[in-house]
């Protein structure tokens, strides 16, 4: 009888997706560091990229050198398109990632819809300067050198750090529909995106594209979100592993700067800093271990 009871309890715990489920079995779920800084879409502008990173306190004022110590930097995707400096932006983030790990910090870079578009061979937003800078067609296409090595190996589609989930455009509850474990769903989606970038599958996963795709949705872009959207967002956050309190997204430009919505359950951090977009002054979102969230918004000249 006791043995049967233990078996029933095991089935219940394994089937019901509990808020706060184990997060130990995923490279896409990381513990909360002392400090996180999140940077929005960069779109091929190395000057704006350096401004944002210096504003975040992780880049040396005169050299491309990590000074952030054990800070975690998260860039929410769209390093490419609309600007000439794509290769410089991606290379800088790559180098800083190596330097940060040596000091106990991290640089985590997400895949945006423009990275995925390039991997599909859609270069309509690429500038002539970017096309001249390197063999873009061969490098960024699915299975290409850059796509296979830099994007597939170093980029993530969804990342949870502490109590914050980062994704380029937004997560919806439907993205986890039918999944036993949201942790496994996150693992699988990241793996499928990486497989596409490596050229191991013919198309990106369907959850990344369309009006409700995690790299494409605009559901969280409006200044004031409706009650139903906020309710659905809370439901989504409760579905995630751990104790996720907020979602941070880019993708949709916020003309008035970084903005929260739904009682700060979502933060929109794309401010259009690239000269190929709005050329606005960079802003950075800072999340501290004590739970405080700050907007760093003073422009720093280079």
Q: Which of the residues are catalytic?
A: 114
Distance CA 262, CA 300 (A): 30
Q: What is the DSSP string of 266-284?
A: EEE-----STTTT-PPP-E
Q: Which residues pair with 38 in a beta bridge?
A: 74, 285
Q: How far apart are the first and last CA of the chain?
A: 72
Q: What is the DSSP string of 95-141?
A: HHHHHHHHTT-EEEEE--HHHHHHHTT--TT--HHHHHHS-HHHHHS
- Find the helix or strand (DSSP H, E) in which 35 lies: strand 35-39
| Alpha helix positions (H), the chain | 2-15, 46-55, 86-102, 113-119, 128-133, 136-140, 145-146, 152-154, 182-197, 227-239
Backbone φ and ψ of 179, nearest 5°: -85, 135
Distance CA 242, CA 245 (A): 9
């Amino acid at each position: 009888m006791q043995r049967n009871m233990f078996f029933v309890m095991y089935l219940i715990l394994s089937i019901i997706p509990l808020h706060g489920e184990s997060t130990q079995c995923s490279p896409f779920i990381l513990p909360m560091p002392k400090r996180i800084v999140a940077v929005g879409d960069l779109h091929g502008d190395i000057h704006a990229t350096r401004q944002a990173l210096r504003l975040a306190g992780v880049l040396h004022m005169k050299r491309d050198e990590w000074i952030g110590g054990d800070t975690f930097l998260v860039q929410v995707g769209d390093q490419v398109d609309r600007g000439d400096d794509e290769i410089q932006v991606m290379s800088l983030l790559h180098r800083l990632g190596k330097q940060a790990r040596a000091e106990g910090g991290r640089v985590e870079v997400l895949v945006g819809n423009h990275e995925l578009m390039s991997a599909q061979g859609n270069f309509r937003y690429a500038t002539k300067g970017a096309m001249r800078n390197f063999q873009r067609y061969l490098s960024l296409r699915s299975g290409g050198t850059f796509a296979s090595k830099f994007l597939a190996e170093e980029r993530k589609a969804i990342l949870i750090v502490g109590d914050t989930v980062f994704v380029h455009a937004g997560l919806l509850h439907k993205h986890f529909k039918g999944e036993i474990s949201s942790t496994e769903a996150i693992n699988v989606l990241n793996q499928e995106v990486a497989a596409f970038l490596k050229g191991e599958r013919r198309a990106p996963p369907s959850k990344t594209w369309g009006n409700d795709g995690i790299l494409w949705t605009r559901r969280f872009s409006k200044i004031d979100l409706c009650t139903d959207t906020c309710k659905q967002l809370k439901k989504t956050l409760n579905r995630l592993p751990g104790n996720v309190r907020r979602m941070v997204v880019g993708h949709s430009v916020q003309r008035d700067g970084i903005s929260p919505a739904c009682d700060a359950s979502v933060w929109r951090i794309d401010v259009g800093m690239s000269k190929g977009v709005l050329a606005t002054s960079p802003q950075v979102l800072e999340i501290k271990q004590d739970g405080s969230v700050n907007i760093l918004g003073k422009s720093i000249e280079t």
